[in-house]
């Protein structure tokens, strides 16, 4: 049975009849950059996340960069985050000339271990960037408590967590600022690049809005050293249509994850731990195995695709050697990087496919242990 890791054209066919006229309408309107479709998407996405404001930008990376700038960070200020994330989290901090400082992750949830934060705080620390990795919220209450007590700003990397929540609060609404990506493969994906910053803070929203558009509030009056990080009108129109389907798509992901949990769990294989207060939206379904290479290889023989998120923690990437970290400093992140295997996950998977993936994984693991 053929099971792709992700099938974007399949999803596109389900919305094609609505998307194509909407895109043609933008083409005819001439409103190619920002414009009414992007403005309407911002209103609708803010309502979805439950914040007063959402500011649409060109990528999730830009969302992070502008959120950090809007939080008032200066060059040399330190930002605490995790090494087990997509590299963009760390790159965005460096784009602002702030300094990323790592703490390890929790071995069960793969998100920031709050018990390690205090020891990483220095007089230069200004912000904490927890990552809601794989679609599951970081343990926000202790993070928010430490931040409040130590006067730090919390900026959520919610690039993988559209619709996820923690104790009933939505990811992207708990920190001062939330950052989302609409890269095509994300749970809410544009037909191209996109991102957004969410916040309840009117001044932060004003700063992000100015920074994405050359630092202007009034055209050609440049008050801030800004950027060209605007969202395309076409992406706004497409994202509005997809946002209306996001809840149903998320429910489908959660159903597939429940099948994986049940069948793998019944076979005695490890399943991801999700604390009961977390609503996980399964951007990724992480399966852990010490036999990763063999499992990937044998899934491939059965035409089942899988992924690794991510094979090298950021502190061990050559590009970030200048941060001065060594192997062994973040043992949990390093172990997960060696053991994590992402099973196929997208809303349009069939029950037959998810069952087939489980049967294949169980068979491969059983044979290997003989």
Ligand X SMILES: *Cc1c(COP(=O)(O)O)cnc(C)c1O
- Residue numbers at the binding site for ligand X (CB under 6 A): 59-61, 85-86, 88-89, 131, 157, 159-160, 181, 183, 193, 195
Contact 268, 342 (CB under 8 A): no
Residues 196, 56: Cα–Cα separation, whole Å: 4
| 11 or 187: CB nearest ligand X | 187
For the chain, the straight-line distance linking the first and the last C-alpha, in angstroms and rounded, comes to 25
| 193 or 365: CB nearest ligand X | 193
Taking the complex as a whole, the smallest distance from the CB of residue 181 to ligand X amounts, in Å, to 3
Query: Closest by alpha carbon to 103, among 86, 124, 119, 123?
Result: 119
Give me 304's structure tokens. Answer: 């089942």
Q: Mutual orientation of helices 202-211 and 60-70 as an angle, nearest 10°?
A: 130
| 157 or 340: CB nearest ligand X | 157
Taking the complex as a whole, the smallest distance from the CB of residue 151 to ligand X amounts, in Å, to 25
Which residues, 6+ apart, have CB-to-CB distance to 187 below 8 Å? 135, 160, 161, 162, 163, 246, 249, 250, 253, 281, 283
| 63 or 263: CB nearest ligand X | 63
Taking the complex as a whole, the smallest distance from the CB of residue 186 to ligand X amounts, in Å, to 6
| 267 or 274: CB nearest ligand X | 274
Backbone angles phi, psi at 192, to 5 degrees: 150, -155
Contact 257, 38 (CB under 8 A): no
| 314 or 358: CB nearest ligand X | 314
Taking the complex as a whole, the smallest distance from the CB of residue 178 to ligand X amounts, in Å, to 12
The DSSP secondary structure of 194-253, one letter per residue, reads: -EEEEES-HHHHHHHHHHTBTTEEETTEE-S---B-PPBHHHHHHHHHHHTTHHHHHHHH
By Cβ distance, which residue is nearest to ligand X? Answer: 60
Taking the complex as a whole, the smallest distance from the CB of residue 185 to ligand X amounts, in Å, to 8
Taking the complex as a whole, the smallest distance from the CB of residue 31 to ligand X amounts, in Å, to 22
Give me 209's structure tokens. Answer: 């809005």
């Amino acid at each position: 049975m053929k099971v792709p890791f992700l099938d974007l054209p399949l999803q596109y066919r389900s919305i094609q009849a609505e998307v194509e006229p909407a895109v043609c309408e933008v083409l005819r309107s001439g409103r190619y950059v920002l414009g009414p479709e992007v403005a309407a998407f911002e209103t609708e996405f803010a309502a979805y996340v439950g914040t007063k404001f959402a500011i649409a930008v060109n990528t999730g990376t830009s969302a992070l960069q502008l959120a950090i700038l809007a939080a008032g960070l200066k060059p040399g200020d330190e930002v605490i985050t995790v090494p087990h994330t997509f590299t963009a989290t760390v790159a965005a901090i460096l784009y602002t000339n702030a300094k990323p400082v790592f703490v390890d992750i929790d071995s069960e949830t793969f998100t920031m271990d709050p018990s390690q934060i205090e020891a990483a705080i220095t007089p230069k620390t200004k912000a904490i960037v927890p990552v809601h990795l794989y679609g599951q919220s970081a343990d926000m209450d202790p993070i928010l408590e430490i931040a409040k007590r130590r006067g730090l700003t919390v900026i959520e990397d919610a690039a993988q967590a559209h619709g996820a929540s923690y104790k009933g609060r939505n990811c992207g609404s708990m920190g001062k600022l939330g950052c989302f990506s609409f890269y095509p493969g994300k749970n809410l994906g544009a037909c191209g690049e996109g991102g957004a910053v969410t916040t309840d803070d009117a001044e932060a929203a004003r700063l992000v809005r100015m920074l994405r558009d050359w630092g202007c509030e009034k055209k050609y009056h440049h008050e801030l050293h800004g950027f060209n990080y605007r969202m395309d009108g076409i992406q706004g129109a497409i994202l509005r249509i997809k946002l209306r389907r996001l809840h149903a798509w998320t429910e489908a992901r959660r159903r597939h994850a429940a099948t994986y949990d049940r069948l793998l769990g019944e076979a005695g294989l490890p399943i991801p731990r999700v604390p009961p207060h977390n609503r996980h939206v399964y951007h990724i379904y992480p399966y852990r195995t010490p036999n990763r290479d063999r499992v990937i290889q044998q899934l491939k023989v059965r035409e089942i695709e899988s992924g690794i998120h991510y094979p090298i923690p950021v502190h061990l990437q050559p590009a970030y050697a200048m941060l001065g970290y060594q192997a062994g400093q973040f043992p949990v992140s390093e172990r997960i990087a060696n053991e994590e295997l992402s099973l196929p996950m997208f809303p349009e998977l069939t029950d037959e496919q998810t069952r087939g993936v489980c049967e294949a994984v169980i068979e491969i693991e059983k044979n290997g242990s003989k």
